[in-house]
Amino acid sequence: MHKPILIIGACGQIGTELTFELRSKYGADNVIASDIREGGDALMQSGPFELLDATNYGAIEDVVMHYEIDEVYLMAAMLSATAEKFPMRAWNLNMNSLFNVLNLAKDKKISKVFWPSSIAVFGPNTPKTNTPQSTIMEPSTVYGISKQSGERWCEYYHKKYGVDVRSVRYPGLISWKTMPGGGTTDYAVEIYHEALKKGSYECFLKSDTELPMMYMDDAIRATIDLMESPSEQIKVRSSYNLAGMNFTPEQMAESIKKHIPAFDISYAPDFRQEIADSWPSSIDDTEARNEWGWEPKFNLEQTTKEMLDNLKG
Ligand SMILES: NC(=O)c1ccc[n+]([C@@H]2O[C@H](COP(=O)([O-])OP(=O)(O)OC[C@H]3O[C@@H](n4cnc5c(N)ncnc54)[C@H](O)[C@@H]3O)[C@@H](O)[C@H]2O)c1
């Protein structure tokens, strides 16, 4: 039987689906969901839940001891667009929550940690296409600075204290179960909702802004595959580049038009354009493929079909 798992930030876009998948794999009672707020009905009814503040070390430690937790997935964070509005709150949440979990592992109270990084670790001076695993990283956003610092600390805790921490740099994630939580790639989810509701969408990025993206099923599979891989295969202890697909808002609109021919997109770029312009347009994920067998399954056309079919209900 798998040892108990704690998910912190379980009610968000990724945490919700991660909780469902881990519960179906390891049993509902073995996966403790937690968040600072309650989540959707389906999540709340699917197994044990604790209200928990990721910045409160003592509270996390209590839950870890109570349930004899062995692995923690830390999904609580403030995302890119919101973090630009509240820089210090973002820094405090993103860094303190990570230190809390890394320190629990350093003190051997848990044995494995998953912490997600992001393509936001890259910046305007990074090579934009096929961005390599190791390259210039000068993030220009609060969120990117916190993720890059987090990566350095993960590697440090692994090297100095032997902490088994694993991480991927998620691209923008597309899903239908839970709405996204304030990122720069949120348009790629909102567009499907609006296409079905209104037949049109006003995009906050320019038509030709190409970004790396991924369908949620692929992201969840990558996360669990990485966590299940033997420790010696995991050579990168900062965070792995991870690629799914790349497209522009215009290409996404074209793929929607194949299902909804009258769909109309317009563009009104806002402050998020500058964030998007600082990020890569495509990612080289050779290390993840070679070291733990990563391979994406969903392209843009399949994603559009899945999104429209599921949102139609
Ligand atoms: N969604 C994406 O496209 C994407 C891309 C790259 C990286 N990531 C990273 O993946 C992780 C999860 O992202 P997400 O999209 O699910 O975010 P989200 O905003 O949808 O969910 C985050 C959850 O954390 C909770 N939370 C906030 N403050 C908390 C606190 N103090 N204590 C406990 N919980 C708290 C929120 O209530 C929310 O349910 C984050 O680290 C994010 O940076 C996400």
Residue 298's φ and ψ, nearest 5 degrees, are: -100, 130
Residue closest to 212 by CA, chosen among 243, 169, 255: 243
Topology, domain 5-168: Rossmann fold (3.40.50)
Please check whether the two domains, 5-168 and 174-212+244-312, share a CATH topology. Answer: no
Tens digit of each residue's pLDDT, the chain (313 residues):
899 999 999 999 999 999 999 999 999 999 999 999 999 999 999 999 999 999 999 999 999 999 999 999 999 999 999 999 999 999 999 999 999 999 999 999 999 999 999 999 999 999 999 999 999 999 999 999 999 999 999 999 999 999 999 999 999 999 999 999 999 999 999 999 999 999 999 999 999 999 999 999 999 999 999 999 999 999 999 999 999 999 999 999 999 999 999 999 999 999 999 999 999 999 999 999 999 999 999 999 999 999 999 999 7
**Residue 273 confidence (pLDDT):** 98
Atom of ligand 1 nearest to the CA of 16: 16
Is residue 242 in contact with ligand 1, taking CB distance under 6 Å?
no
Q: How do the domains of the chain map onto residue ranges?
A: 5-168, 174-212+244-312
How many angstroms separate the CA atoms of 266 and 11, rounded?
31
**Residue 82 confidence (pLDDT):** 96
Record the tokens describing residue 160, joined without a space.
């100095």
**Residue 286 confidence (pLDDT):** 98
**Residue 1 confidence (pLDDT):** 80
**Residue 16 confidence (pLDDT):** 97
> Which residue puts its alpha carbon closest to atom 39 of ligand 1?
12
Q: How far is the CA of 235 from the centre of ligand 1 (A)?
A: 25
What CATH number does the domain located at 174-212+244-312 have?
Answer: 3.90.25.10
For 299, the 3-state DSSP assignment is coil
**What is the SS3 assignment for 51-119?**
ECCCCCHHHHHHHHHHHCCCEEEECCCCCHHHHHHCHHHHHHHHHHHHHHHHHHHHCCCCCEEECCEEH
**Residue 267 confidence (pLDDT):** 98
Q: Which residues are within 8 A (CB) of 290 and not within 5 positions of it... i.e. 6 or more apart?
A: none
Q: How far is the CA of 116 from the centre of ligand 1 (A)?
A: 9
**Residue 221 confidence (pLDDT):** 98
How many angstroms separate the CA atoms of 86 and 98, rounded?
18
Is residue 173 in contact with ligand 1, taking CB distance under 6 Å?
yes
Catalytic residues: 143
pLDDT of 199-246, one tens digit each?
Answer: 999 999 999 999 999 999 999 999 999 999 999 999 999 999 999 999
Q: What is the pTM of this model?
A: 0.98
